[in-house]
Amino acid sequence: MQKIQFTETVLRDANQSLIATRMPMSEMKPILATMDKAGYYSVECWGGATFDSCLRYLSEDPWERLRTIRKQMPNTKLQMLLRGQNLLGYKHYPDDVVIKFVERSIANGIDIIRIFDALNDMRNLKLAIETTVKNGALASGAISYTTSPVHTLENYVQLCREMTEMGCGTICIKDMAGVITPQESYALVSAIKDALPDMPVVLHTHCTTGMAFMSVLKAVEAGCDVIDTASSCFSGGTSQPATETLYDALTQLGYEVPLDRTVLKTVNDHFKPYRAECLASGLLKPKAMATDTDALTYKVPGGMLSNLMAQLETMNALDRLDEVLEEVPAVRKDMGYPPLVTPMSQIVGVQAVNNVLAGERYKNVSKEATAYLRGEYGRAPGEVNAELQKKVLGDEQPLTCRYADTLEPQFEKTKAELGETARSDEDVLSYIAFPQVAEKFFAERKEKEERKVKFSIEAI
């Protein structure tokens, strides 16, 4: 009997996708000990946007959040998402920072690090993967899934082989836009399993386009080992398919699913009232729960579509959305078919808007697009338009090396500069990732502590 395991995403990607990662620790903590008994393969609880959101919006220390979850869930593997050399930010960091960040993540409680690169440039994954393995955690190499003339089954399988050689313990198909169809899902899992029969395969997708449940079932048929799902009240829309639904469906189909259904219901019952609060306050928007099939045509993820609309609205140009959506695939082709995942979705989207509103293609080129054409984000999957590159860079030659090789070490220098402001290496890493946000958080933390001491003295 084939065993299918589940990664629960409600603590990270499900609430990131539906409520912009605004779920505070106070909503999570009471149910963690119960979640620990569910039998999940892993619980994805950290990384992605959680780091930024904790510091910026929730006044929480992300490292303390991780330690709290670890303490409450001693029997469950804790998982995080890492953008390779980008870590949790939006630029590439020096190697010493990547090494330190991975080390401290594992020391604070992470068991599995899912590592991806927006361009599937293996050079941007190698150090994070090797450091993860060296520190005793499992590295899950993730393919940023998309479709284009250069994204073939053969190319994806080759990426999987390279990640396996680097030391990855599992391979994840990361379909951030929810565009993988049932047939594509079946074909890709089959191809990976044929090439690497002993390698566990994970499927991560979103319900954005309505494909997810069907694609998950076809992946399981092809031999997929682990699926990402969300507790049902935080599933659907731009989130993952529902944990309970897939448990029931797969169990009935004869698969072994090592989960406790009673615990799953308790977990969902816990989060239901909070979901209702989010809906009432407007934090959970009906649009996030809708099925949006435009992504199947334009390969534009739901979040990117929302950003394009917001951008055009501020310019009183929302009536030109269709033109922009037609321009996106053209820009993507010129840039060598990058997958539309952060930060590439933003870079391609902004450039498409610039092209349409300027009335001339590439009259205004963003600094991020310039950096991409210079090679600062990595190697493009396909051929970049040579005329465009020449227009933007002039006589400057694009980088052929890994961009991180050009960066000076940063950790010890920043630690010395921060002095007593940073109480730990974790504080230093928070500052390097988000300097202004972390600085504000440190000041607020100090102020709260001083208030607490003052209140205690007055009470005496």
371-418 residue pLDDT tens: 999 999 999 999 999 999 999 999 999 999 999 999 999 999 999 999
Residue 192 and residue 68 share a domain:
yes
The verdict on residue 288 lying in a domain is no
Question: Cα separation of 177 and 156, whole Å?
Answer: 17
Q: Which of 47, 56, 70 is CA-nearest to residue 22?
A: 56
The verdict on residue 376 lying in a domain is yes
In this model, does residue 454 exceed pLDDT 80?
no
What value does the CA radius of gyration of the chain take, rounded to a whole number of Å? 22
The verdict on residue 287 lying in a domain is no
Binned at pLDDT 50, 70 and 90, residue 91 comes out as confident
Binned at pLDDT 50, 70 and 90, residue 38 comes out as very high
The verdict on residue 450 lying in a domain is yes
12-21, 174-183, 338-347, 424-433: the lowest-pLDDT one: 338-347
- Number of domains, the chain: 3
Residue 300 and residue 268 share a domain:
no
Residue 297 and residue 273 share a domain:
no
In this model, does residue 299 exceed pLDDT 80?
no
Residue 251 and residue 103 share a domain:
yes
State which of 281, 305, 326 marks the end of a domain: 281
Residue 174 and residue 31 share a domain:
yes
Residue 39 and residue 175 share a domain:
yes
DSSP string, 15-69: HHHHHTT---HHHHHHHHHHHTTS--SEEEEEETTHHHHHHHTS---HHHHHHHH
The 10s digit of each residue's pLDDT in 117-141 is 999 999 999 999 999 999 999 999 9
Binned at pLDDT 50, 70 and 90, residue 451 comes out as confident
The verdict on residue 252 lying in a domain is yes
In this model, does residue 455 exceed pLDDT 70?
no
| The pLDDT value given to residue 287 | 82
Residue 141 and residue 36 share a domain:
yes
Top pLDDT among 234 and 49 is at 234
Q: Omega before 343 cis (within 30°)?
A: yes
| The pLDDT value given to residue 342 | 78
Binned at pLDDT 50, 70 and 90, residue 452 comes out as confident
Indicate the average pLDDT of the chain: 94
Binned at pLDDT 50, 70 and 90, residue 303 comes out as low
State which of 405, 429, 448 marks the end of a domain: 405
| The pLDDT value given to residue 313 | 85
The verdict on residue 30 lying in a domain is yes
The 10s digit of each residue's pLDDT in 310-363 is 788 888 998 998 899 899 999 999 999 999 887 888 899 999 999 999 999 999
Residue 345 and residue 237 share a domain:
no
Residues whose CB falls within 8 Å of the CB of residue 78, separated by 6 or more in sequence, listed in order? 42, 43, 45, 46, 66, 69, 70, 109, 110, 111, 112
**Beta-bridge partners for 8:** 43, 229
Residue 334 and residue 239 share a domain:
no
| The pLDDT value given to residue 285 | 87
Question: Cα separation of 431 and 345, whole Å?
Answer: 25
| The pLDDT value given to residue 202 | 98
Give the domain extent around 153: 5-281
> Which structure tokens are listed for 285?
């928007």
Binned at pLDDT 50, 70 and 90, residue 201 comes out as very high
Residue 329 and residue 246 share a domain:
no
Question: Cα separation of 87 and 99, whole Å?
Answer: 10
Residue 250 and residue 357 share a domain:
no
State which of 220, 247, 281 marks the end of a domain: 281
Q: How much is the average pLDDT of 229-253?
A: 97
Binned at pLDDT 50, 70 and 90, residue 36 comes out as very high
Mode of pairing for the β-strands spanning 78-82 and 138-144: unpaired
The verdict on residue 286 lying in a domain is no
Q: How far is CA 304 from CA 104, 226, 380, in A?
A: 32, 27, 20
Give the predicted TM-score (pTM) of the model: 0.94
Q: How far is CA 435 from CA 52, 55, 418, 422, in A?
A: 11, 11, 11, 12
Supply the CATH number for residue 355's domain. Answer: 1.10.472.90
Residues whose CB falls within 8 Å of the CB of residue 66, separated by 6 or more in sequence, listed in order? 45, 46, 78, 105, 108, 109, 110
Residue 161 and residue 54 share a domain:
yes
Supply the CATH number for residue 277's domain. Answer: 3.20.20.70
Top pLDDT among 306 and 191 is at 191
> Which structure tokens are listed for 14?
């499900």
